[in-house]
Structure 1
Amino acid sequence: MSDFPPEPSLSSLPVEQLVACHECDLLMRKPVLQDGESAECPRCGYELFSHRHHVVRRSLALVLTALLLYVPANFLPIMQLNLLGQTSQDTVWSGVLGLYESGMQGIAVVVFLCSMAVPLLKLLCQLLVLLSIRLDFGRGYGLLLYRIYHHMREWGMLEVYFMGILVAIVKLMDLADLSLGLGLFCFIALLLVQVWLEVTMSPHQIWEALSGEDIHAGD
């Protein structure tokens, strides 16, 4: 763990060598970190960033895993409901269609965007950004896509949809014969992989790699 050294005069330093704490706005000189080290603000102790091993390679593996899980998570049955002799299978996609056909088109569009469209677009943006670094090609487009990805982060709400699924399962257990489907386990795996990806894909290393400052990020 690395703290920032005090700087008596920051006004003479280039902007790219400075960093501001996201919590207390303290302006500091950006330290040079080695693999496995992290930088903390000396005023409030907030961890600004860390330097992780093989960040692009590990992130690519997680993105590809998430993309493989995306289709079964959204189109395989999440649960099978048997009520009064009638059996129905529910998926994420069938839930969107059910809302649309029942007259709640606005809610259906929001659910589709937040649970299916935006998560997929986020994964595709991450994939293209990582490939631009790994292949050293089109990093200008990678910068644009990474900015777009950060704007979309607040709209991907898989965890909110998952909480809705859990509430529905708990309420339906006493009313009908309920069995969990493979789609639910794929959905949980997709959610966990995306969380792991957020932790692994260190933003400052990606920005530096896209701008050509970190030559080791693609290792």
Structure 2
Amino acid sequence: MTDAAGSNQLADLPLEQLVGCHECDLLMRKPELAMGERASCPRCGYELFRHNNQVVKRSLALVVAALLLYVPACFFPIMQINVLGQSSLDTVWSGVLSLYEAGGVLQTIAVVVFLSSMVIPLFKLLIQFLVLLSIRLDIGRSYGLYLYRIYHHMREWGMLEVYLMGILVSMVKLIDIAKPSLGVGLFCFVALLLVQVWLEVTMEPHQIWEELAGGDAHANH
């Protein structure tokens, strides 16, 4: 009887006051959080969401930093390889071109690498920048909602970390037959990956959704 009464009470609440656990599917009333607090599921302990301080300002700074790192990460030399007195400089872009010029099935791989390591990460950053800018300047929030939906569908398609692992594996294999030396592009690439991870942690989705929806301002900006 108690569970039925609780369910009836939840059914009477508006949707914006409810939250569901992504792990155990428990539906509950959304808790009110102060800055720096986090909410956990009472049944399984899964973290539902947190309330970050100055989420828009901090996220904007990280997005701008990531965009500034993008060009050197993709077009500056990642490593220089010396074999029998001949040296070559390799970048992310030159790697894509080499795969494509090899022809055959490698052209398909080149397109996949190009999309996952260059196009989609840049597109995601631009979407995040526009979404945050719409909140910060209080303009075009309806477009921001549409863009943020697109962003959530693209989150799993950017694979910079996979490309980085491929670079590291290649360097280990080349040590015995060549003399690879690190380039500035590799450091920018690692920095870009770290900034994006930091951005994912900082840009709390529930605060961004609330700001875009034009409800009560929970994200301090």
Tell me the amino acid that sits aligned with residue 109 of structure 1: V
Residue 115 of structure 2: aligned partner: 113
**Unmatched tracts of structure 1, length 5 or more:** 1-5
Measured after TM superposition, the shift of residue 214 of structure 1 is 3.6
Measured after TM superposition, the shift of residue 51 of structure 1 is 0.3
Tell me if structure 2 keeps the 8 A contact 1:7–1:29.
no
- Report the TM-score when normalising by structure 1: 0.95
Tell me if structure 1 keeps the 8 A contact 2:35–2:52.
yes
Residue 35 of structure 1: aligned partner: 35
Residue 174 of structure 2: aligned partner: 172
Measured after TM superposition, the shift of residue 9 of structure 1 is 2.1
Distance 1:7 1:52 in 2: 30
Q: Deviations over 1:75-101 (max 9, x none)?
A: 000000000111100000000000000
Aligned length: 214
* Correspondence list, 1:1-219, <5 A: 9-103=9-103, 104-217=106-219, 219=221
Distance 1:157 1:31 in 2: 34
Distance 2:73 2:220 in 1: 30
Distance 2:203 2:79 in 1: 32
Between the aligned residues of both structures, percent identity stands at: 74
Measured after TM superposition, the shift of residue 174 of structure 1 is 1.4
Distance 1:163 1:186 in 2: 15
Measured after TM superposition, the shift of residue 216 of structure 1 is 4.6
Tell me if structure 2 keeps the 8 A contact 1:20–1:26.
yes
Q: Deviations over 1:116-136 (max 9, x none)?
A: 000000000000000000000
Distance 1:38 1:214 in 2: 18
Distance 2:89 2:158 in 1: 25
For the aligned residues, what is the CA RMSD?
1.1
